[in-house]
Structure 1
Amino acid sequence: MLLRKHRELLRFAVVGGTCFVITVAINYALKLTILTDKPVSAQAISVVIATIVSYVLNREWSFRTRGGRERAHEAALFFLISGIGVALNSAPLWVSRYLFHLQEPAVTRLTQEIADFASGMILGTLLAMVFRWWAFKKWVFPQADARPRPVRPTRSERAALRAAEAQAEQDRAA
């Protein structure tokens, strides 16, 4: 019952976990190759890509029954809020690197990477996630049950449908 009651939140968390993996993979791919001197840019780019994936997954799965806005308006709000989320996600990394100077040569490479991961990937992601959950429900997908849930036929209804389809096939063959 608890899982059913918090289905949206659980789905949002699964989407978030998926997008977290996407963010980490792209961030480190960029940071360790073409953006070695620009960790905040690598972080922001990876978050933007994951945000696009997030929109599709959240709209079609996490909040599939919520709505209340025209699609273009909904998408614009989603990306505006996600843009704020990118800033929130990048802020702890910026503070770590440029205010606390947790970067080479002031610290070891290992310390820098641990600080980057803790501030950018963990703290930044959590901060942005809490903000997005609240903002998506409040502004992007404000109305519960605005879109109908997909109706799943019962087992007996599926059996009856298969029998009817089989009968129709036999009638066509005859």
Structure 2
Amino acid sequence: MTVVESVLARVPGPLRAVLIKHRELLKFAIVGGTTFVIDNGIWFLLKFTVLESKPITAKAIAVIIATIVSYILNREWSFRTRGGRERHHEAALFFLISGGGVVINLIPPYISRYVLDLEVPHVSLLVQEIADFASGSIIGMLLAMFFRFWGFRKWVFPDELGRRRHLDEDSAEEELGHS
């Protein structure tokens, strides 16, 4: 049983039908959850150790690493039936869209820290960390996620290229069967 099938088996029937219809989005969300853990684990590790004085740099590094993992998982799982571009072209588009996502992801924590002054000494350490998490790991990540999903479907893994690829494969199989 695949990961998606095991998740769907635990979901009530009416909701299951909706999730099956939007299977690609469900897979994208699972990849997003995985990269969320990677992103925040690396961010907090860097932010509380070697990059303590540079939280935005730490977040950028964490997002970049999580984005690389995201490309591999999305390419091989979430959008595996889409695409048809050459890998280097697809990867370039993926990282271009993801770069836009990184910028979008960094805007809320930047505003939180440097526009709203939600950092020590203006606020307590607890307030600073809650503001960092809310702005960088929730607001920024959600905004970037919507942008990436839209961009990936539109430009990186467009459905029309996937359909053409499958049609070409079907035609090739038919030709091999008739030979």
Provide the TM-score with structure 1 as the length reference: 0.83
Match of 1:170 in 2: none
Greater helix proportion? 2
Superposed, 1:61-100 pairs within 5 Å as 61-100=77-116
* Larger Rg computed on CA atoms: 1
- Aligned-pair CA distance for 1:68: 3.2
Q: 2:142 aligns with which of 100, 105, 126?
A: 126
Q: Percent identity?
A: 65
Match of 2:61 in 1: 45
Match of 1:16 in 2: 32
- Aligned-pair CA distance for 1:24: 0.5
- Aligned-pair CA distance for 1:69: 1.4
Q: Distance in 2 between matches of 1:99 and 1:93?
A: 9
| Structure 1 alignment gaps of length 5 or more | 149-174
Do the aligned partners of 1:68 and 1:143 also contact (CA within 8 Å) in 2?
A: no
Provide the TM-score with structure 2 as the length reference: 0.80
1:113 aligns with 2:129: yes
Match of 1:162 in 2: none
* RMSD between aligned residues: 1.0
Deviations 1:44-72 (A, max 9, x none): 00000000000000000000100031111
Match of 1:6 in 2: 22
Q: Distance in 1 between matches of 2:30 and 2:52?
A: 30
1:101 aligns with 2:117: yes
SS at match of 1:84: helix
- Count of residue correspondences: 148
Q: Distance in 1 between matches of 2:72 and 2:22?
A: 20
Do the aligned partners of 1:77 and 1:139 also contact (CA within 8 Å) in 2?
A: yes
Do the aligned partners of 1:96 and 1:115 also contact (CA within 8 Å) in 2?
A: yes
Q: 2:44 aligns with which of 28, 31, 41?
A: 28
The letter of the residue matching 1:23 is D
- Aligned-pair CA distance for 1:104: 0.3
* Higher relative contact order (CA closer than 8 Å, sequence separation 6+): 1
Q: 1:141 aligns with which of 153, 157, 169?
A: 157
